[in-house]
Structure 1
Amino acid sequence: MRRFEGSELLIATHNRGKLDEFQALLGPLGITCRSNEDFGLPEPEETEESFVGNARIKARAAVGATGLPALADDSGIEIDGLDGAPGVHTADWAETPQGRDFTVAMTRAWSELEARDAPEPRTARFRATLLLMWPDGHEEVFEGAVAGRVVWPMRGTLGHGYDPIFLPDGHDRTFGEMSAEEKNRLSHRAVALRKMAACFGRP
């Protein structure tokens, strides 16, 4: 595994919630996170049907535009009652003419579960794939997942994305009801980042 020797890392995202989450998780490792917005980078089209494929698209675009190492994440929620959907299309379900609206996405997910009369508990998992790419094209890939179930109505206003309908196993509060510190100890991204810590020389 290649070591990352720098103190700044470009996070290939326009999502402020994700950037804040990465900064909270990587800050203790001595890493300052910057985003695509800091460099005025456009958001590349995600055309792959896998998390790692879309993460690679984002990392390659960021590295190519800046010459800096970049960390890209592709993540989503897989809902068993929907045959694993929305999966890689997690953000697409939130697209509206006015921009992304995850209340729309969560309502759609629950409505489709109801339409299928999906049995309870309506199990699901959040998955994250992190891809760290260097300017020479070398990459390291790390994956994380957290299991739980989908609940309704939405609970909590914290976090982002589908957090208000995801109840992680072993807990009585959704991600949307947890503080950032609590969620960051449990999340799929945190699991992947713990695996990635070896790149930064930290156990």
Structure 2
Amino acid sequence: MTPLIMVTGNDHKFSEASAIGRQLGLEIEQARIRLVEIQTADTAEIVDKKAKDAFARLGRPIFVEHTCLHIEFANGFPAGLTRTFLKTLGDDKVCELFGAPGRNKATGKTTIGYCDGRRVHQMDGELHGVIADRPTGALTGWGQFGWSRLFIPDGYEKTLSELGIAEKNRFSMRRAAMSKLADLLKAPK
């Protein structure tokens, strides 16, 4: 099978996707192309634009992804604006505002966009849980990536950061979306 190209400048995302891909029988290579990421809460719109842009620049099938956090108490916000939300508020403030019972339910969602030149196929994976009352886990490397220090998946008592990458990759929203991508690619044409 020809290696699948993931367009991302984020080494953490690539590392996770690559490890999960190997488990699913996919060989993934990284293309570091800086893509314009539109600012909207609409994840599907973000992924569609990024996938079309990446395909236009490389001229071959690619995939992109966007992972975000949806906080139930905030009507699903920040969604596609998660990076800006976290950068603006910081981990401590997010936990202060949304880490209490009644305000802490959240869903992590990964949307993958695979562009084959004819269309963009989108696949979603979700992980339900809660916002922790305080950030926990590593302050460097993968453990501080995104909202890993803030999110406790249902059925666990630790944040994703505390669980570690290998455990997270067994059940994460990225895993669910990558499984759907593998099914699409392996389906008879």
Question: Does residue 1:181 correspond to 2:166, yes or no?
Answer: yes
Which whole-Å deviations, capped at 9, do the CAs of 1:100-127 have from their partners, x for residues lacking one?
Answer: xxxx53233224337xxx6446111101
Q: Which of 53, 56, 68 is residue 61 of structure 1 equivalent to? A: 53
Question: Does residue 1:139 correspond to 2:120, yes or no?
Answer: yes
Which ranges in structure 1 are unaligned for 5 or more consecutive residues? 1-5, 97-103
Q: Secondary structure at the match of 1:84?
A: coil
Deviation at 1:93, TM superposition (A): 2.0
Quick one: distance in 2 between partners of 1:151 and 1:45? 28
Deviation at 1:199, TM superposition (A): 2.1
Deviation at 1:173, TM superposition (A): 1.6
Give the TM-score of the pair, scaled to structure 2.
0.86
- Computed over aligned residues only, the root mean square deviation of the Cα atoms, in angstroms, reads 2.2
1:126 counterpart residue number: 108
Summarize the alignment of residues 74-93 of structure 1 with structure 2, pairs less than 5 Å apart. 74-93=66-85
Q: Is the 8 A contact 1:17 1:159 kept in 2?
A: no
Q: Is the 8 A contact 2:73 2:102 kept in 1?
A: no
Q: Is the 8 A contact 2:160 2:168 kept in 1?
A: yes
1:72 counterpart residue number: 64
Aligned residue type for 1:162? W
Identity across matched positions, percent: 23
Summarize the alignment of residues 1-203 of structure 1 with structure 2, pairs less than 5 Å apart. 6-37=1-32, 41-95=33-87, 105-113=90-98, 119-120=101-102, 122-134=104-116, 136-157=117-138, 158=143, 160-201=145-186
Which ranges in structure 2 are unaligned for 5 or more consecutive residues? none
Q: Secondary structure at the match of 2:130?
A: strand
Deviation at 1:201, TM superposition (A): 2.1
Aligned residue type for 1:113? F
Which whole-Å deviations, capped at 9, do the CAs of 1:20-65 have from their partners, x for residues lacking one?
Answer: 011001123443323332xxx2231324441111111111111111
Quick one: distance in 1 between partners of 2:98 and 2:86? 17
Aligned length: 183
Q: 1:178 to 1:7 in 2, by over 3 A?
A: farther
